[in-house]
A = this chain, B = another copy of it.
Amino acid sequence: MTLQHLLGGIVGAGNVLTAPEDTKPYFTDWRRQYSGAAECVVRPASTSEVAAVVALCDREGVAVVPQGGNTGLVGGSVPMGKRREIVLSLSRMNRIRAIDPLNDTATVEAGCVLAAVQKAAQDAGRLFPLSLAAEGSCQIGGNLSTNAGGVNVLRYGTAREQVLGLEVVLPDGRVWNGLRALRKDNTGYDLKQLFLGAEGTLGVITAAVLRLFPRPSANATAWIALESPRAAVALLALLRERLGDRFSAFELISRASLEAVLAHSRDAHDPLRDVHPWYVLAELGDSGEPTMLRERVENALADCAERGALCDAALAQSGEQSRSLWRIRETIPEAQFTNVKHDISVPVSRIPEFIARAGEALEATFGKIPIYCFGHVGDGNLHYNVGSEALMPRSAEVSRVVYDTLTEFGGSISAEHGLGQLKREEIRRHKDPLELELMRALKDTLDPKGLMNPGKVL
């Protein structure tokens, strides 16, 4: 029997895709940056089907590429086409298994679309805070496997921190049921941490117990003009002293980024009258009355203005105003679509110096070129995009300058997107060889045949 027949015996022939028109969306990522062929796409509907598929592949020596919404940015969910491989799509495993409002937990399958998890939490009167641009199509299994970040990390942490328990199919097809719904459990090594952020290279996450939170009943959105990134970092510290942990986002936006949006979108307009070199978009959430929160934010901003800690600020007076401020932030990526992109992080305190130094280093090599710098300054995470289409042929050179500057600052070359195929080689220039050796030792222990998502991460 062929592999396809055997797989069909497990998941049903209709769930083994081989025709090019069927497999195409699974073999290429959504931005069409990565493409590779595999023998087929297999779509199991349950944990036991996943286990049987993986066990079969283990016996046959066929590699497995786990895939969720295929919205990743580093090619982690796309086959490489270099060996016998199948794509294992989790999209049919999309049940919300349970919601427990009194334990503030949701038990969900890997193939649940992130927005569906958010919706299920909302229907139970709770918040699932993970939120990112692809939430309408990315799947929670992929979010967990890549330790996704997004706009609420400042307050709620990354995907890793949302997880209390996991169910994982191991590379030999055995199922580890670690679906505990406990906030405290010190009974040995915390195995779930291994699989979170491993980009499918150590096993297949099939389900998870996620934390839920109280829903904020009040929100406030502020657009703040500043002289410099240094002022943004200082302002964050000052405002957190006054407003505590209410911040869910604190997004830095350079004037160049705003201008790109204004040029790209007719609907967009500059929220302030005067021109300023830098901005922050801040979002806050709280329980209680919205007017109470807005009053506190207004007072804190007025106080900061008086102390010279900001140039100007506008507080959204309605949901519509808040959405239009956020639209500016969300439009930045498409407004400067083709250039050399970097998803990087440094300690928050070192952002100003990094931005200055990287700018100088780039100018020294490439002359005056546009730099679109924006991102989650509260997490030390910048999207640092350089040049325009004309610079693309020199993208490797550009990235080299950015990453080498970054390493001097104790930064990370992948803050929230992962390594995948894209940064698998580059990371070797930045990581301690001992750390790479430990990673390899873990990989060899859990996946001795090297069948789980080969060519990614390591």
Least Cβ–Cβ distance between A117 and chain B, in angstroms: 19
Asked, given contacts A182-B347, A350-B103, A445-B442, whether A432 binds B177 with beta carbons under 8 Å apart, the answer is yes
Binary B-proximity of A440-457 (CB < 8 A = 1, otherwise 0): 011011100000000001
Q: Is the CB of B182 within 8 A of A346?
A: yes
Copy count, this protein chain? 2
Q: Is the CB of A188 within 8 A of B427?
A: yes
Question: From DSSP, what is the main secondary structure of chain A's interface residues?
Answer: loop
Q: Does A400 contact B (CB under 8 A)?
A: no
Tell me which residues from 148 to 181 in chain A have a Cβ below 8 Å from any Cβ of chain B.
149, 153, 157-158, 160-161, 170, 174, 176-178, 180-181
CA distance in complex: A234, B103 (Å): 10
CA distance in complex: A288, B295 (Å): 12
CA distance in complex: A105, B380 (Å): 12
How many interface residues does chain A have, given as a range?
Answer: 35 or more
Closest-by-CB residue of B relative to A240 is B214
Q: Does A233 contact B (CB under 8 A)?
A: yes
* Residue in contact with A184 in the complex, picked from B105, B243, B415, CB distance below 8 Å: B415
Q: Does A320 contact B (CB under 8 A)?
A: no
* Residue in contact with A380 in the complex, picked from B184, B198, B216, CB distance below 8 Å: B184
Known contacts A180-B412, A183-B348, then 19 further A-B pairs from the complex at CB < 8 Å, ordered by chain A residue? A100-B349, A102-B234, A103-B349, A153-B184, A176-B435, A180-B410, A182-B347, A183-B379, A184-B345, A185-B345, A185-B414, A186-B412, A186-B415, A187-B412, A187-B430, A189-B198, A190-B193, A193-B193, A242-B288
